[in-house]
């Protein structure tokens, strides 16, 4: 992706995120995104087929950022998200959620969050699969691996929901420990 394309894409993401801070995902239109990004309709559709694809790309950027944090060649990494990655990928994810980077919590807590949760869980499964050795001591030999991965993902999502519903008063470190204890 050349510099001009990257800037246009960042402008679209920025407009989308700004709208997310003010409105429910379901109420945002492509027209509003285009207007806020100050681009043409054809430009938007050259980057994203639909608003749902834009949402999917936002999720992919978050998880790509998290995965890069695992790479020792990217100690400070960047996509739409900027930080120094901690040792735990789950702590890293909770930290971004606490900071509400790019209004990700609005997506999680909005009424029509099923599409976001679907994308989120897809990426979470990849993350969990890469982190399975952390959970091996707790896995029963009779459980199929796919069930175990789904269970860990569901536990993460429910831990996150509980944390959000209870005002996120625990630190990311504490909620990460809760998650590890619950699996």
pLDDT digits (tens, 9 = 90+) for 12-38: 988 988 887 788 888 899 999 999 999
Residue 69 CB neighbours (<10 A)? 22
Structure confidence by residue, pLDDT tens digits, 65-99: 666 644 445 444 444 445 555 567 888 888 877 87
pTM of the model: 0.70
**What domains are there in the chain, each with its CATH number?**
1-48 (1.10.10), 52-182 (1.10.357.10)
Q: How far apart are CA 22 and CA 169, in angstroms?
A: 23
């Amino acid at each position: 992706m050349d510099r001009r394309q990257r800037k246009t894409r960042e402008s679209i993401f920025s407009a989308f995120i700004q709208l997310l801070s003010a409105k429910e995902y379901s109420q945002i239109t492509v027209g509003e995104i285009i207007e806020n990004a100050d681009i043409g309709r054809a430009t938007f559709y050259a980057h994203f087929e639909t608003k749902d694809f834009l949402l999917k790309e936002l999720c992919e950027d978050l998880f790509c950022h998290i995965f890069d944090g695992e790479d020792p060649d990217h100690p400070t990494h960047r996509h739409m998200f900027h930080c120094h990655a901690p040792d735990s990928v789950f702590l890293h994810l909770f930290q971004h959620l606490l900071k509400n980077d790019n209004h990700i919590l609005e997506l999680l807590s909005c009424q029509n969050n099923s599409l976001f949760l679907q994308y989120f869980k897809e990426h979470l499964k990849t993350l969990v699969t890469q982190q399975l050795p952390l959970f091996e001591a707790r896995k029963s030999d009779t459980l199929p691996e796919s069930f175990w991965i789904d269970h860990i993902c569901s536990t993460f999502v429910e831990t996150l929901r509980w944390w959000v519903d209870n005002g996120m008063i625990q630190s990311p470190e504490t909620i990460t420990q809760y998650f590890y204890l619950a699996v």
